Structure 1
Amino acid sequence: MPKITFTQLSKDLKKGVLAPVYLFTGDDVYRKREVADKIKEIVNPDDFNFVKEDASSCNIGELISLAGTAPVFSAKRLIVLNNADKLKKAAAEALASYLENPLETTCLVIMHNDAKKAKKDKTLEDSCSEACVITAFDELKSNQLGPWIEEHLAVKGFKIEPEALILLQEIVGSDLVALNTEIEKLSLYLLDSEDKTVRQADILASVGLSKEENPFALSNAVLDCNRQEALKLAQKLLDGGEEPVSVLNKISACALKMLRIKRLSEAGLTGPALLQAAGLLPWESRLAAKAYIMPSSASLCRALDKIIETDMAFKSSSAGEPSIQIKGIILTLLSK
């Protein structure tokens, strides 16, 4: 039962190499579906030789019987079974028996979508023969999302500026379904553009925001140590109805990031070494370069103490006027 990485799986599929059984584990359902679609393109089954079932509702006995039957006037049969984690014990054991000796003319794709359950119950995994392929689809980490977005935009003929890449991830998050939806929207929005480059303004327009409504403008202003802009944007968020705690959290996240950068800078790290040690992403290199204008570690620690006090006061309803409290923190944080 060879376990291979997603990268190796992709290489094999590009060569048209197919296994009789694929067991896909992990929580990233979106990429599993992408690969299942790729396998379908390779097999190219007709209606007689393609079945897609959900384990929560299908008759597993009939599915196993079909998997063990030669295809109809075709070289291969394709069966895709989703949510294998929903199988009852007896059904899982029956499927496990098939995995011990699968039919070569059938390509069975099994998607197990509960990573925690897969670690405890290895009924399917342990039954896979050497002919089966097992690949874990763990959710992409933050440093893997950028390349994924760039790759999917490139397929559509677009490239993206680093700042726009950051903004897209911050607005949408790590949900690949949501990211793919935004990529589709961007490709339509920029269909007639000449240089096929996605910029920050395009991201904001695509998700229905104006430049002035950029939800990360405050964070950018704080990280750039632009005190006047940060004060203005914080007030605008509060006036617009954003909860004081939410505004405070934005400032707090910036303060923590700045403290990491400043301490490493004071320890003598610069450039790529500082970037890696601070846990910054490649497109955040501008922050490492701005370490010299950031407040001292002592000032940042004082600001964080004040943030903690204010957060507790907000949550206990004992704080004073939110606007005054927030502005006080910004002034403390970005004091010269």
Structure 2
Amino acid sequence: MAKQSQTVETFQNILQELKNKIYKPIYFLTGDEPYFIDKIAEYIEDNVLSSSEKAFNQTVVYGRDISAADIINAARRFPMMSNYQVVIVKEAQNVRNLSDLEIYLKTPLNSTILVVCHKIASDGKKSSDKLSGVVKLAKQKGIYFESKKFYDYQIPDWIVGYLKDKGIKIDPLAANLLTEFVGNDLSRLAHELDKLAIILPADSKLIQAADIERNIGISRDFNRFELTKALGEMNFARAMRIADHFARNPNANPFVLTITAIYQYFIKILKYHFLADKSKASVAKELGVNEFFVAEYERAAKRYSPSRCVSIIHWLSEYDMRSKGVNNGSTDHGELLRELIYLIVFGK
């Protein structure tokens, strides 16, 4: 989980410097996780200048409307009746000839705080690779921050940390349930967590699974997290009840997400078998789960041998292809899931 820790730590360090009024002439914020980019830009926009200073000294523009030359011209202005001027470029990935920004970054004005919000799509295409000169100068002259998308398994820890800053705790089951419902969209997660923090009773500082169900709408009993748990316990009846619920609510429970969750679960069980150190802390670290759930994987590993896990992973691949129409006639996703559950629990 180094990626998450490094991203969060760097983000917090940048915010702390800003709160201490330590400003740099350039903040080049890039990456495929927009949440941290937006938060840094919002803080600068809201806090660096006073209300009276903003009228003449704060400029917010959008990449699709400007060129690099426009940014340079704005950045080279001097502040009026203020120590600083702030120039914020949002959606900078759409700026024409952004690489020309090198011209300004070689000798930036210390009285200008230039914030470049350069977001990258999560498809592996890093347009910032074309901006090596800009990146190099941003690192030399100010702040270069890469905001990386979290993996789903990293989200519960982020939720815990986010709420800790608010003096609130969350039950591990509730954190996993929220992750199940929202995924790794940090902006949406923050919104849901802020909402939960507001509606918690005044005498409560703990979010539990019931709070997630009551206020966000996901069922504690019928979700992918509970399905994998039921499979780990070889509880066929319960797994089938959840499958029936999914079949009745296919839009809220896409087959592709369900089969992915089962695949990740059995990959962890298989990995558990080959861990040399099976202490709780070590297992949690290696599997990327909260220590609270280590016992569940330990019990599941007793029920599913390594060879059985390999067979299940093979079946998951087969049923994934069938769900996409390969070697499948008219069997719907609900029935495919029921067949798969039977194989996992009773198959050889």
TM-score of the superposed pair, with normalisation by structure 1: 0.82
Structure 2 residue identity aligned to 1:254: Y
CA contact (8 A) 1:67 1:108 kept: yes
User: In structure 2, the residue corresponding to 1:110 is in which secondary structure?
Assistant: strand
CA contact (8 A) 1:295 1:335 kept: no
User: In structure 2, the residue corresponding to 1:290 is in which secondary structure?
Assistant: helix
Say yes or no: does 1:52 pair with 2:52: no
| CA separation of 1:57 and 1:320: change in aligned 2, threshold 3 A | closer
Structure 2 residue identity aligned to 1:96: E
Select 1:165's aligned residue among 146, 156, 175. 175
Shifted more, 298-307 versus 114-123: the winner is: 298-307
Tell me which structure has the larger Cα radius of gyration.
Answer: 1
Say yes or no: does 1:33 pair with 2:33: no
CA contact (8 A) 2:246 2:334 kept: no
1:88 aligns with: 96
2:203 aligns with: 194
1:317 aligns with: 328
Q: How many angstroms does 1:321 deviate by?
A: 8.7
| CA separation of 1:202 and 1:256: change in aligned 2, threshold 3 A | same
User: In structure 2, the residue corresponding to 1:121 is in which secondary structure?
Assistant: helix
CA contact (8 A) 1:222 1:254 kept: no
CA contact (8 A) 1:54 1:83 kept: yes
Q: What are the superposed Cα offsets for residues 108-155 of structure 1, whole Å, 9 maximum, x if unpaired? A: 111222371112332422444843221212223445433432333234
| CA separation of 1:133 and 1:225: change in aligned 2, threshold 3 A | same
Unaligned runs of 5+ residues in structure 2 are: 1-8
2:114 aligns with: 108
Q: CA RMSD in A?
A: 3.3
Structure 2 residue identity aligned to 1:27: D
| CA separation of 1:57 and 1:179: change in aligned 2, threshold 3 A | same
Percent identical:
24
User: In structure 2, the residue corresponding to 1:174 is in which secondary structure?
Assistant: coil
| CA separation of 1:291 and 1:274: change in aligned 2, threshold 3 A | farther
Q: How many angstroms does 1:319 deviate by?
A: 7.4
Q: What are the superposed Cα offsets for residues 313-336 of structure 1, whole Å, 9 maximum, x if unpaired? A: 553324779777655543443359
Structure 2 residue identity aligned to 1:117: S
CA contact (8 A) 2:152 2:183 kept: no
Structure 2 residue identity aligned to 1:330: I
In 1: Cα distance, 2:145 partner to 2:331 partner: 54
Structure 1 residue identity aligned to 2:241: K
2:87 aligns with: 79
Shifted more, 312-321 versus 19-28: the winner is: 312-321
Structure 2 residue identity aligned to 1:111: C
| CA separation of 1:235 and 1:83: change in aligned 2, threshold 3 A | closer
1:135 aligns with: 145
| CA separation of 1:274 and 1:120: change in aligned 2, threshold 3 A | same
Shifted more, 104-113 versus 116-125: the winner is: 116-125
User: In structure 2, the residue corresponding to 1:81 is in which secondary structure?
Assistant: strand
